[in-house]
Amino acid sequence: MQRRAAVVGNWKMNGTIAFTQALTSAVCAGVTERDHNHTLACDVILCPPFTSLSTAQHHLAGSPVRLGGQNISEAIGGPFTGEISGSLLRDAGCSHVILGHSERRTLLGEQDALVARKMVAAFRDGLIPIVCLGETLAERTAEQTLAVIQTQLTALLALLPTAEEQRAHWVLAYEPVWAIGTGRHATPDQVQEVHGFIRKQLTDRLGTTIASSIQILYGGSVTPDNAAALFAQPDVDGGLIGGASLKAETFLAIIDAYPKNF
Ligand code: PEP
Q: How many residues does the chain have?
A: 262
- Closest alpha carbon to 22 in 259, 251, 255, 246: 246
Digits of tens for pLDDT over the chain (262 positions)?
A: 568 899 999 999 999 999 999 999 999 999 999 999 999 999 999 999 999 999 999 999 999 999 999 999 999 999 999 999 999 999 999 999 999 999 999 999 999 999 999 999 999 999 999 999 999 999 999 999 999 999 999 999 999 999 988 999 999 999 999 999 999 999 999 999 999 999 999 999 999 999 999 999 999 999 999 999 999 999 999 999 999 999 999 999 999 999 887 6
What angle, 0 to 180 degrees and rounded to 10, lies between the N-to-C axes of helices 112-124 and 145-159?
Answer: 40
Which of 7, 99, 184, 221 best tests ligand 1's pocket when mutated (most atoms within 8 Å of CB)? Answer: 221
Which of 101, 104, 222, 225 best tests ligand 1's pocket when mutated (most atoms within 8 Å of CB)? Answer: 222
Active site residue 175: yes
CB of 180 shorter than 6 A to ligand 1: yes
Specify the pLDDT at position 3: 81
Query: What is the number of the ligand 1 atom nearest to the C-alpha of 173?
Result: 3
- Chain centroid to CA 182: 18
Query: What is the number of the ligand 1 atom nearest to the C-alpha of 175?
Result: 5
Domain ranges of the chain: 5-253
What's the CATH number of domain 5-253, 3.30.1330.40, 3.40.50.720, 3.30.565.10, 3.20.20.70? 3.20.20.70
- Closest alpha carbon to 230 in 171, 164, 175: 175
Pairing of strands 128-133, 42-47: unpaired
